[in-house]
Amino acid sequence: MRQLALRLSYDGSAYHGWQRQKGLPTVQETLEEALTRLCKTETRALGCGRTDAGVHARKYCAGFRTECAVPADRLPLALNALLPPDIAVQAACEVEPDFHPVFSCRKKEYTYYVRSGVIRDPFERDRVWFRPGELDLARLRAGAEQFLGTHDFSAVRSVGTNVKTTVRTVYDFSVEQEGDLFSFRICASGFLYNMARAMVGTVLYVSLGKLRPEEIPEILDTGDRCLAGPTVPPQGLYMTGVWYDGEAGRMMQA
């Protein structure tokens, strides 16, 4: 039995997230159907995390076990011939027998895109969140800085999944501006349900003067979701990085 890992990218617009849901199209189910056809036996895939409906991935890792003899370097082309055009396998490799897409992961990165200004771009409708008005880059960065470090992130998560702990470590939260396009990049040890989107919503509140940057640590200490900013819409969110050791790590960083 072989253990393999895949590096995927996908446009999540047509899917109800990664994880299988009865009666709804998901990325996991679509990938598993392609794997089953290729391997000629029912094949299940594990993903590196749940992405919500409408969320995208530039880099996503999935793993599966199989007796299929197709070489790893030929898997991307073979699977892409069976997948719809909004999902692509970018690379594949054989990994250690104990590899697990979730538990072997060292850190993850999400990037959120916001377009400010007056006129929306209809071609960005499912890929960037348009928010009318102006944003203050200095205040956005000041708010983002307050999230760095190890904290209980209950105040910026939505109830939806059971977890052993709500403590996570944020290694980096950077905000960049190119014209009226803002990118919010968050790298952390892991993410709670809607955590990245709520963090972006909170620093947007700082930009708008609804919160002061120094209030963010106090909000995290309370664990009160009502005190933080809103959860921004899903279409601007992309998984952009996943880090592992070994072969999977080399594949994901290629």
Which residues belong to the active site? 52
CA distance 52 to 16: 6
* Ramachandran angles phi, psi of 76, nearest 5°: -55, -50
> β-strands 107-115, 129-130: how paired?
parallel
Sign of CA dihedral 199, 200, 204, 206: positive
* Contact between residue 229 and residue 205 where contact means Cβ atoms under 8 Å apart: yes
Contact 151, 168 (CB under 8 A): yes
- Detail the DSSP E strand segments found in the chain: 2-10, 46-47, 56-66, 87-94, 107-115, 129-130, 149-152, 167-178, 181-188, 237-243
Nearest to 89 by CA among 113, 49, 57: 57
